Amino acid sequence: MRIGFIGLGSMGAGMAGNLIKAGHEVTVWNRSPEAAAPLAEQGAKVAATPAGAAAGVEVLHSMLANDAAVREVILHGGVLDALTQGAVHVNHATISVALARELAEVHESRGLGYVAAPVFGRPAVAAAGGLNIVAAGKPEAIAKVSALLDLLGQKVWPMGDDPVRATIVKIGGNFLIGAAIESMAEATTLTRAHGVTAKDFLEVMSSTLFAAPIYKIYGGMIAEQKYTPAGFKMSLGFKDIGLARAAAEAERVPMPFASVMHDAMLEALGAGDGDLDWAGMARIAAARAHLKD
Amino acid sequence: MRIGFIGLGSMGAGMAGNLIKAGHEVTVWNRSPEAAAPLAEQGAKVAATPAGAAAGVEVLHSMLANDAAVREVILHGGVLDALTQGAVHVNHATISVALARELAEVHESRGLGYVAAPVFGRPAVAAAGGLNIVAAGKPEAIAKVSALLDLLGQKVWPMGDDPVRATIVKIGGNFLIGAAIESMAEATTLTRAHGVTAKDFLEVMSSTLFAAPIYKIYGGMIAEQKYTPAGFKMSLGFKDIGLARAAAEAERVPMPFASVMHDAMLEALGAGDGDLDWAGMARIAAARAHLKD
Amino acid sequence: MRIGFIGLGSMGAGMAGNLIKAGHEVTVWNRSPEAAAPLAEQGAKVAATPAGAAAGVEVLHSMLANDAAVREVILHGGVLDALTQGAVHVNHATISVALARELAEVHESRGLGYVAAPVFGRPAVAAAGGLNIVAAGKPEAIAKVSALLDLLGQKVWPMGDDPVRATIVKIGGNFLIGAAIESMAEATTLTRAHGVTAKDFLEVMSSTLFAAPIYKIYGGMIAEQKYTPAGFKMSLGFKDIGLARAAAEAERVPMPFASVMHDAMLEALGAGDGDLDWAGMARIAAARAHLKD
Amino acid sequence: MRIGFIGLGSMGAGMAGNLIKAGHEVTVWNRSPEAAAPLAEQGAKVAATPAGAAAGVEVLHSMLANDAAVREVILHGGVLDALTQGAVHVNHATISVALARELAEVHESRGLGYVAAPVFGRPAVAAAGGLNIVAAGKPEAIAKVSALLDLLGQKVWPMGDDPVRATIVKIGGNFLIGAAIESMAEATTLTRAHGVTAKDFLEVMSSTLFAAPIYKIYGGMIAEQKYTPAGFKMSLGFKDIGLARAAAEAERVPMPFASVMHDAMLEALGAGDGDLDWAGMARIAAARAHLKD
């Protein structure tokens, strides 16, 4: 199949690679062109512009950083004009509910298919084709891309027609991760103040009741008090909790845990911890209790 | 070994049964005597008083409901006078840090061994000998009871000399469970407000990043909006979050998530939801967003 | 002096009237033209466009509803082009810190004076010339308009050169009002639950330690549980707390009280209370405690 | 009238002095006897025990520090046995709702009158007879002591029969003060981060909308960032917010502002600020925003 792929960051590069490996004819574009080189070696064509990656493809994937990048590249970068009638755009980015709704409408009005397909997983998982993909869009659009989604992920979780639904699952999921971090931050501050290390406490919890990837990965960082290199930066976590809060505000949903996290992350950002992994929220909880690192 | 067992509620009955099955000579006591009958059939002697269950035993286990019960039965019920010098008391109850410290001192001053050994697991798990047990106490006391703990649990997590340390791990663990519930409560309220059912959302999460017992069990209740019969009642959860908050206050540990949970559970108790499972916190989150059940 | 006045809502109409009464030559504009009629009777010229009210004046006052209105009317409505070099724009609106900064820069770059002069006071106070005005801007701009500000207010509080400084005082002040309301909401819920009416409690407080206009006015509404007609609508209060939270976020200032208020007001808006006075936050506090109105 | 007065701290000494000045026959007792000396000079008899101050009096006033002191001195110090049938005990202390209820019942059962009469005001105000007194008790008991209350305060606010009602008004009032402090703490942190000093901001507010004693007194401390000598210590404020939270918990009243204050004060106490005035909560707000003092 003729495929375009826009956005070759640490996630997108691995995903595009999996499409190439499966034999598809892939044209890629990335803002900083050097990221495209390894994919060219794998057999991709490299476009000079976003529109170039969209021209003439049957399916266009994009994996951009945030609302601003999606607006600039997709909405204002000529991509929609370049897509041929009937082509499907699969958007993997984590974006706001408001933008998700706008994108769905814009594609619809131009006769383009649109699938929201945000992903859960880190770069290594993306490269291995092991992502969990939440997908929503019109049935005919989904049908056209489902074989491709199967190449990118270990499992595709269908969420129905409305792209907003996949978006809110991704946003809700990231909220749930942040809340697990703050929970561990507070719990370990409590146990440390009573003589039990974060490591001793979290080893019990993440081996038993909480034996799940999130508690193991972030719990491990908190146990070691080691927040670099960041798997997911505090500044990005802050942005994602902001997406949850904006979505909550739009539908009048009070989320007091999100408010607490917002305040804790503001304190972390003010401390200069924006480039730490967001597990570093544990530093704020400990500082408030006047524990030494 | 000659063993006493005080407190035959839904957890204690199964635990005492496992000690009997292993061939130990067990004398039991329970406030309401009918709970002792099934154990008598399994071979236990039944004492008429707490002191009767403590007299002459090498190891005394107790599994009582809360601080008040422990104070009344153990500290003021003649148990300590009945225990012979060198006997070890293994306390499985979830109690306050303050009482844990007091119990350690009282036993020490009387030449009695003391092991704090709170457990994680539900009644069926207790009956099957599959508990996770967090144990702390003097090495010689631990050594004396460790074969017994192995009968009760699938794993014993040693936490060192100081009984307070096992207690705070249990308290911290219950806080972590409550926080997971409130997290799911808020996240599903958010997704429901945007058209995704709690079931659809939680199925993704608890099958992937959060594939752990806590998210499956409580997430299942939230997905079904079914909070009876209670696995763990709201009123008990409220008590346990109170233990976390008291322990936090004693060491000057701010815990904003615990504060949020306290306020949400007060609202639930005021609504008459005290006998629901504490997963019912999700009803409060939904009500605040004016979602219909 | 030749003066323009844009925005003749309940506040602006009274303010413009005071300028006319003092003998100034005032040209007014309002989106819905009927609001201009009473001022025409007082002697104002009525412009057909915002630019018409700005053309040729020495000083332009504006009192618009929010950021969006200021952007549309002032930045995109031809006003800046219409102002002559050296004219001063006095902006009385409560706007975001970000827009305050942008406006200061835009005026500066065009050789126009700019004074941020948000006001505290209700419509009746505005009509009587009794406002408290917080003013910031370049000294020469302030000098040019200070006699006019004296006509509008009982007192002008100078806040220095930077228009942002007057804006943040207004935003901080509105936050303080909202926090006083939520404080009274929680306190009266507590006393009511113990048998003391809101009226009995607030009468003591607002006659003694809290004998200030805010506690008397909003406390009076809470005592009577009467939130219509609104002096200041919940929906506007929500917007203003949003301005505080945005300003806080920009400078990494955690404001947990603002977070609590945000969540309470979301709950109120979801209940359909957006048109009540924002003292109606007391209904949410009472509902959470399951008190009958 | 023959009067006893127990508790001669900074408040009680001035109050007892006013009763002496009015010509009453006053017997005083204080734990540390040196505090009684100045009152002896004014004409008081000094008792050697609490019971000695209660024996044979018509009215006994007490002004003790907290629940523990009231329990020890009044309930377990022989005072109730010493009082003659029909005597009235006027309790000025700020105590818990639970103890207020217990005291009312104990006095009733012994045929003693009981009036809860907590006060608002600082030591200088107490000495000048300018307190605001909130009083509740049976009409006949109130009638007996109302002339005395008039000597102690500028105004007596009657709250009906039930002593709990006066107690909750005092507790609610102290909550309102604490909330005003935290509000100013957050608001001034916000304005400081945008270039406006706490002094400049609070001068506007406490001269206009918030022209009330609480905002002037505590606002003054926050403006100067000067929290010693303490008018009311953080550690005492923490205790009083604890009384509010306990009263709230008893009646299932969620109070999220109280939760925020609890967490902020814990952070302050952990920082070693327990002896500062509780206006020092502003230091915590500023520290979270990484502002320099």
pLDDT tier, A293 (very low <50, low <70, confident <90, very high otherwise)? low
Can you say whether the dihedral through the CA atoms of B198, B200, B205, B207 is positive or negative?
positive
Q: Average pLDDT for residues B203-223, to the nearest whole number?
A: 97
**Domain end among B161, B183, B207:** B161
Residues 6+ away with beta carbon under 8 Å from C267:
A252, A254, B288, B289, B290, C284
Smallest CA-to-CA distance from B237 within B173, B168, B285 is with B173
B213/A213 touch (CB, cutoff 8 Å), yes or no: no
In this predicted model, what pLDDT tens digit does every residue of C128-184 receive, in sequence order? Answer: 999 999 999 999 999 999 999 999 999 999 999 999 999 999 999 999 999 999 999
Q: Average pLDDT for residues C13-39, to the nearest whole number?
A: 97
Three-state SS for A204? Answer: helix
Residues 6+ away with beta carbon under 8 Å from D192:
D198, D286, D291
**Domain end among D116, D142, D161:** D161
C127 and C35 both lie in a single domain: yes
Q: Chain B residue closest to C193 (CA)?
A: B270
In this predicted model, what pLDDT tens digit does every residue of C246-259 receive, in sequence order? Answer: 999 999 999 999 99
Q: Average pLDDT for residues A255-259, to the nearest whole number?
A: 98
Smallest CA-to-CA distance from A220 within A178, A272, A282 is with A282
Q: Average pLDDT for residues A16-32, to the nearest whole number?
A: 97
| The three-state (H, E, C) secondary structure of B127-177, written as one string | HCCCEEEEEEECHHHHHHHHHHHHHHEEEEEECCCCHHHHHHHHHHHHHHH
Contact call for residues D167 and D145 (beta carbons, < 8 A): no
C-alpha distances in Å from residue D122, one per residue of D4, D156, D275: 22, 16, 17
d(Cα D263, Cα D105) in Å, to the nearest integer?
A: 34
d(Cα C284, Cα C274) in Å, to the nearest integer?
A: 12
- Helices (runs of H) and strands (runs of E) counted in chain A: 14, 9
Q: Report which residue type is found at B33.
A: P
Name the minimum distance, in Å, from the CA of D260 to any CA of chain A.
10
Domain membership flag for residue C293: no
D29 and D133 both lie in a single domain: yes
Q: At what angle do helices C198-207 and C163-193 cross, to 10 degrees?
A: 130
Q: Chain D residue closest to B254 (CA)?
A: D263
Q: Measured in whole angstroms, how far is the alpha carbon of residue A204 from the centre of its chain? A: 29
Chain C partners (3+ C-beta pairs within 8 A): A, B, D
Residue B236: how many CB atoms within 10 A of its CB?
A: 18
Q: What is the helix, strand, coil percentage profile of chain C, to 5? A: 55, 15, 30
In this predicted model, what pLDDT tens digit does every residue of A184-209 receive, in sequence order? Answer: 999 999 999 999 999 999 999 999 99
Q: What is the pLDDT along chain D (293 residues), one digit of tens a residue?
A: 999 999 999 999 999 999 999 999 999 999 999 999 999 999 999 999 999 999 999 999 999 999 999 999 999 999 999 999 999 999 999 999 999 999 999 999 999 999 999 999 989 999 999 999 999 999 999 999 999 999 999 999 999 999 999 999 999 999 999 999 999 999 999 999 999 999 999 999 999 999 999 999 999 999 999 999 999 999 999 999 999 999 999 999 999 999 999 999 999 999 999 999 999 999 999 999 999 86
Q: What's the confidence (pLDDT) of residue C142?
A: 98
Element (H, E) at C46: strand C45-46
Domain membership flag for residue C270: yes
Could you give phi then psi for residue D250, rounded to 5 degrees? Answer: -60, -35
Domain membership flag for residue A60: yes
Q: Chain D residue closest to C193 (CA)?
A: D251
Contact call for residues D221 and D263 (beta carbons, < 8 A): no
A8 and A113 both lie in a single domain: yes
pLDDT tier, B293 (very low <50, low <70, confident <90, very high otherwise)? low
A182 and A234 both lie in a single domain: yes
In this predicted model, what pLDDT tens digit does every residue of D87-131 receive, in sequence order? Answer: 999 999 999 999 999 999 999 999 999 999 999 998 999 999 999
Number of domains in chain D: 2
Domain membership flag for residue A293: no
Contact call for residues A44 and A69 (beta carbons, < 8 A): no
D177 and D283 both lie in a single domain: yes
The CATH number given to whatever domain includes residue A256 is 1.10.1040.10
In this predicted model, what pLDDT tens digit does every residue of D43-61 receive, in sequence order? Answer: 999 999 999 999 999 999 9
Domain membership flag for residue C28: yes
A208 and A269 both lie in a single domain: yes
C48 and C30 both lie in a single domain: yes
Phi/psi class of residue C118: alpha, beta or left (left: φ > 0; alpha: ψ in -120 to 50)? beta
Q: Average pLDDT for residues B256-275, to the nearest whole number?
A: 98
Q: Measured in whole angstroms, how far is the alpha carbon of residue D269 from the centre of its chain? A: 20
Q: Measured in whole angstroms, how far is the alpha carbon of residue D9 from the centre of its chain? A: 11
Q: What's the confidence (pLDDT) of residue D293?
A: 65
Contact call for residues C153 and C133 (beta carbons, < 8 A): yes
Q: What's the confidence (pLDDT) of residue D292?
A: 82
C83 and C135 both lie in a single domain: yes
The CATH number given to whatever domain includes residue B148 is 3.40.50.720
Domain membership flag for residue B293: no
Three-state SS for C29? Answer: strand
Q: What's the confidence (pLDDT) of residue B292?
A: 82
**Domain end among B161, B188, B212:** B161
C267/B288 touch (CB, cutoff 8 Å), yes or no: yes
Interface test with D, best of B238, B249, B259, B261 (most D CBs within 10 A): B259
Q: Which residues of chain D are within 8 Å of residue A256 when distances are taken between CB atoms? A: 256
Smallest CA-to-CA distance from B93 within B220, B5, B162, B201 is with B5
For residue D263, give the nearest of B259, B266, B269 by CB distance. Answer: B259
pLDDT over 70 (residue C293): no
Q: Which residues of chain B are within 8 Å of residue A253 when distances are taken between CB atoms? A: 186, 189-190, 193, 288-289
D193 and D153 both lie in a single domain: no
d(Cα B252, Cα A193) in Å, to the nearest integer?
A: 9
Which tokens hold the place of D118?
């907590």
pLDDT tier, A42 (very low <50, low <70, confident <90, very high otherwise)? very high
Q: Measured in whole angstroms, how far is the alpha carbon of residue B206 from the centre of its chain? A: 24
C18 and C142 both lie in a single domain: yes
Which residues of B fall below an 8 Å CB-CB distance to D?
248-249, 252-256, 259-260, 262-264, 266-267, 269-270
d(Cα A260, Cα A263) in Å, to the nearest integer?
A: 5
For residue B289, give the nearest of A171, A179, A252 by CB distance. Answer: A252
Q: What is the length of chain D?
A: 293
Which tokens hold the place of B191?
């997704």
Q: Report which residue type is found at B237.
A: G
Bridge partners of residue B91, in order along the sequence: B62, B116
Contact call for residues A55 and A77 (beta carbons, < 8 A): no
Contact call for residues B171 and A190 (beta carbons, < 8 A): yes
A151 and A203 both lie in a single domain: no
Say yes or no: ipTM exceeds 0.95: yes
Provide the domain limits for residue B77: 2-161
Q: What's the confidence (pLDDT) of residue A292?
A: 82
Name the minimum distance, in Å, from the CA of C162 to any CA of chain B.
36
Q: What's the confidence (pLDDT) of residue C292?
A: 82
Which tokens hold the place of A225?
């008090």
Which tokens hold the place of C99?
């827009």
d(Cα C203, Cα C224) in Å, to the nearest integer?
A: 11
Q: Chain B residue closest to C256 (CA)?
A: B256
D156 and D279 both lie in a single domain: no
Domain membership flag for residue B18: yes
